[in-house]
Structure 1
Amino acid sequence: MYLHYSAISDVGRVRRENQDSGYAGPWLLTVCDGVGGAVRGDLASSTAVQALRKLDQQPDEDILGQLAGGVHRADDRIAELVEEDPNLNGTSTTATVALFDGTRFGVGHIGDSRAYLYRRGELRQLTHDHTFVQSLIDEGRITEEQSRTHPHRNLILKALDGIRHEEPDLFEFPAEAGDRVFICSDGACGTLTDERMADILSTGTPDFAAVELVRASLEAGSTDNVTCIVADVSDEEPPAELQPLLVGAAADLPRRMPLGGAVGGLFRGHRSGDTGEIPPVPADVPEGAFLADPIDPEAARYAPREPGRHAWLRRLLLAAVLLGLAWVVLAALWSWSQQQFYVAEQDGRIAIFRGIDADLPGISLSHAYEVTDVDLDRLSDIDAEQVREGIDASDLDEARLTVDNYAARQDVD
């Protein structure tokens, strides 16, 4: 059997550069997605694809061994780049690779790009994402639908970075005439539902399906680069003009939107029309007059936000609330302190004080409540010292009992 294939990669409507790379040939299909936010993700993905495309020849019996070797060589090549230029430390990429031998597919996978099989009207996801949100799905903590909007949906747990040397997932499956294989970056599968992908994959040629999948992803609100490869398994030989396709960063063909292109979208094609096309730059647009690149959404998530129009009012209300809370706390503390009593000296006599036997700078936390006629001079030195240091009482009655005890000792002395 043979592969009839198509591949397309688009920078999308938000990103400044395309960090996706893809390759489709008679024996090999692969998509690599430079990890967002990493140093030169476009360089990592294009390096990986350039290494992997060497697998595009009829494989031998050990199809999984060849796949594993190709993925490891791609990882080693990224390691060499980092060694040559330490500024590239941190660059990484996903890799999803399908190798065809005429009767079966071998698949190698690492990261969150995906491979799907559309067979007899049913779509099946072949690969398993190596992401944080996928681990939450596996544990039953969130659903697939919730994962599409999870704040950490872009957190990759495994990738080709030339440092950790992660092992890829490897498996194979038999091919059937009429099968349609779909490989994409998360700019597509992270936006489109399985039902929408199956609907698109159910009709048209590989060219039509690939373009339509990219167009649908962008219209559905994808903020990432979008790369789609569609390949049909057929008993018929492909046309002679079908040549291997290199797309995305690996092809070094960046696409930028002309001024005003953000609203109208990149694709004019539709399911009922042609396969879509990139609108040309209008002749009357001055050179260099392109739509300003918006901030990368990954960076925007952690970027400081500019204060709103009424930020001063919010700050004033917050200060008022905090001041009110502080006043309530102080009032409660003051009320409690006025229920405390202790015995101490006041002008040489024993007095009962109301409050706490402590002072703050410039603030007295107690005052003389009752001054008795018991003179400290008529007490023993030990008793007088005890009074001067202060004697706590649980309430007013206990304080008065303490004074009576000292008064009795005074009379005795």
Structure 2
Amino acid sequence: MTDPGNDASAAPETEEVPVPDAQPELPHDPQPDTIDVPLPSTRPLLQLDGYAVSDVGRVRKDNQDSGYSGPWLLAVCDGVGGAARGDIASGTAIGELRQLDEPPGSVDVIDRVNDGLHEAHVSIGAQVDQDPALNGTSTTATVALFDGQRLAVGHVGDSRAYLLRDGELSQLTNDHTFVQSLIDEGRITEAEARVHPHRNLILKALDGLHDVEPDLFALELLPGDRLFLCSDGACGVLEDDRITTLLTDGTPEFTSIELVRASLDAGSSDNVTCVVADVVDPSEHAPADPMVVGAAADLRQRRGPRGLFRGHRSGDTGELEPITAEIPEGVEYAIPEDPLVDPEALRYAPQAPPRFAWARRLLAAAIVLGIAWIALGTAYWWSQQKYYVGVDDGYVVIYRGVDVPGLSHVYEVSDLEVADLQESTQEEVRNGAMIYSSVERAREAITRIGANGRQSGSGTTTPSPTTPAAPTTTNPDDASPFSPPAEGGAADLTTLTPDGR
């Protein structure tokens, strides 16, 4: 380590300003050689002294959490489970994010975190491209990158980051979950969210397919601050007061293990990952070596379902083997609301649809429009098989279709005037209630109307409804319901076209 105040090569290039001889030379604090841009503060650079623990838990058969702890970087990723292998998603993400664990340089820490999350997103997408069976896999990601003074946090999903300062706990991240949206709207409380049936639904995750805008922010850290990152297997069951109590005492190693133990004892049915780190002065305290835990470490969870650690200080965490047989009589276990539904599988629900969603929507719209067009066409065809007697321009006419606007038109016009009919018959004709299945029957109806429905003063003879009128011609070939009758006969009707009235 060199002193930038005595090494000209380490000082930034600036314009020289004359300084009075009486002004004393300002002291310079030592800084690492790797810093390209000196920090404005004279505080020495700090580092993180952390420890990470990940446990499969008491119910699940494999660990889909991954965690990392290093002198500059802390990270927790919770893979979305199921057949799509969330352990691959979380392990891939940690594999990319751990490359950020380097001494600070000229690039702003927030930009570095954003780039790291983007690289993790791309790497997961490459895994999906290589193995289509992974389509749908995703992971949460909570990342904390330290540059010696400022901590940059990047967050996607429902893993969390906390800060303990002077005995006061602050939650740094905000969950991207359905229940958190209900809390923000004031519809439920924090306590209600812990038992909500949809508490596992996440709204954001890294899946390699759909771009996600992470939450990004930075804050100043002080010596003595303690950071805590965890998956929802811990924060989903531990109250803030309990977390504060556990974080207050002990080394990062002791505290992280106790936090996992407390989460399991509180009834957590998920994987549990906890990362605890203190902000220390490296000249007074040597930071611990980097640690990779959980799915990213590819350790004993591949060999069996047991946890990564069996106890603490020669003790036992109380971890149970995953339940693979019937529950013995007399033994009670905490059973989910619906034992047939894996809560982890519900975490897929808020994810966006797979690729080519626009093509699927377009095809669905085309099918709906096609069905609607066929239904309308069938209805119109059916209406055109009907005929009814009505009135048009003062004459009795035959309409084709049904008495609905747009579904009927004048088919034939008779020479029978409506004014010549009795009032009751006029009302019946105007209502269009006489519907027939063929035009021949409609014609016969008009003939009957003319014979039986004329007014007495119309100058025609109205035959009795029970006595048929005498034929007007002796030639059967000339007999037609619409042919002109003899003088004084029944109806005088002539078939006309709509335009030949």
Same topology, TM > 0.5: yes
- The alpha-carbon deviation at position 30 of structure 1 amounts to 0.2
Matches within 5 A, 1:93-132: 93-132=139-178
More relative contact order, 1 or 2 (CA 8 Å, 6+ apart): 1
- The alpha-carbon deviation at position 267 of structure 1 amounts to 5.9
Which of 213, 216, 219 is the equivalent residue of 2:262?
216
- The alpha-carbon deviation at position 122 of structure 1 amounts to 0.5
Which of 275, 286, 293 is the equivalent residue of 1:229?
275
- The alpha-carbon deviation at position 297 of structure 1 amounts to 6.0
Confirm or deny that 1:51 pairs with 2:96.
Answer: yes
Which of 47, 56, 71 is the equivalent residue of 1:11?
56
Match of 1:373 in 2: none
Confirm or deny that 1:300 pairs with 2:345.
Answer: no
Whether the 8 Å CA contact 1:148–1:190 is kept in 2: the answer is: yes
Confirm or deny that 1:78 pairs with 2:78.
Answer: no
1:150–1:237 CA distance, 2 compared to 1 (3 A): farther
Confirm or deny that 1:42 pairs with 2:81.
Answer: no
SS in 2 for 1:302: coil
1:293–1:33 CA distance, 2 compared to 1 (3 A): farther
- The alpha-carbon deviation at position 298 of structure 1 amounts to 9.7
Confirm or deny that 1:179 pairs with 2:225.
Answer: yes
Residues 306-355 of structure 1: CA deviation (Å, up to 9, x unaligned) = xxxxxxxxxxxxxxxxxxxxxxxxxxxxxxxxxxxxxxxxxxxxxxxxxx
- Distance in 1 (CA, whole Å) between partners of 2:202 and 2:314 is 33
Identity score, percent: 59
Confirm or deny that 1:26 pairs with 2:97.
Answer: no
- Distance in 1 (CA, whole Å) between partners of 2:75 and 2:319 is 28
1:146–1:180 CA distance, 2 compared to 1 (3 A): same
1:224–1:240 CA distance, 2 compared to 1 (3 A): same
Confirm or deny that 1:206 pairs with 2:252.
Answer: yes
Q: Which amino acid aligns with 2:150?
A: R
Structure with higher helix content: 1
- The alpha-carbon deviation at position 232 of structure 1 amounts to 0.2
SS in 2 for 1:300: coil
- Distance in 2 (CA, whole Å) between partners of 1:5 and 1:73 is 24
- The alpha-carbon deviation at position 254 of structure 1 amounts to 3.4
Q: Which amino acid aligns with 1:158?
A: K
1:294–1:202 CA distance, 2 compared to 1 (3 A): farther
Which of 227, 232, 235 is the equivalent residue of 1:189?
235
Match of 1:169 in 2: 215
The CA RMSD measured in Å over matched residues stands at 2.9
Match of 1:243 in 2: 289
Give unpaired runs (5+ residues) of structure 2: 1-45, 327-334, 343-463, 467-501
1:38–1:181 CA distance, 2 compared to 1 (3 A): farther
**Normalised TM-score (structure 2):** 0.54
Residues 350-373 of structure 1: CA deviation (Å, up to 9, x unaligned) = xxxxxxxxxxxxxxxxxxxxxxxx
Q: Which amino acid aligns with 1:49?
A: I
- Distance in 1 (CA, whole Å) between partners of 2:111 and 2:323 is 46
Structure with higher strand content: 1
Q: Which amino acid aligns with 1:57?
A: E
Residues 97-149 of structure 1: CA deviation (Å, up to 9, x unaligned) = 00001111000000000000000010000000000000000000100111111
1:38–1:104 CA distance, 2 compared to 1 (3 A): farther
Aligned length, in residue pairs:
289
Which of 102, 108, 130 is the equivalent residue of 1:62?
108
- The alpha-carbon deviation at position 167 of structure 1 amounts to 1.0
Give unpaired runs (5+ residues) of structure 1: 282-289, 304-379, 383-413
- Distance in 1 (CA, whole Å) between partners of 2:279 and 2:177 is 30
Residues 4-37 of structure 1: CA deviation (Å, up to 9, x unaligned) = 1100000000001000001111110000000133
Whether the 8 Å CA contact 2:60–2:305 is kept in 1: the answer is: no
Whether the 8 Å CA contact 2:97–2:120 is kept in 1: the answer is: yes
Which of 113, 132, 137 is the equivalent residue of 2:183?
137
1:157–1:14 CA distance, 2 compared to 1 (3 A): same
- Distance in 2 (CA, whole Å) between partners of 1:239 and 1:247 is 23
1:219–1:45 CA distance, 2 compared to 1 (3 A): same
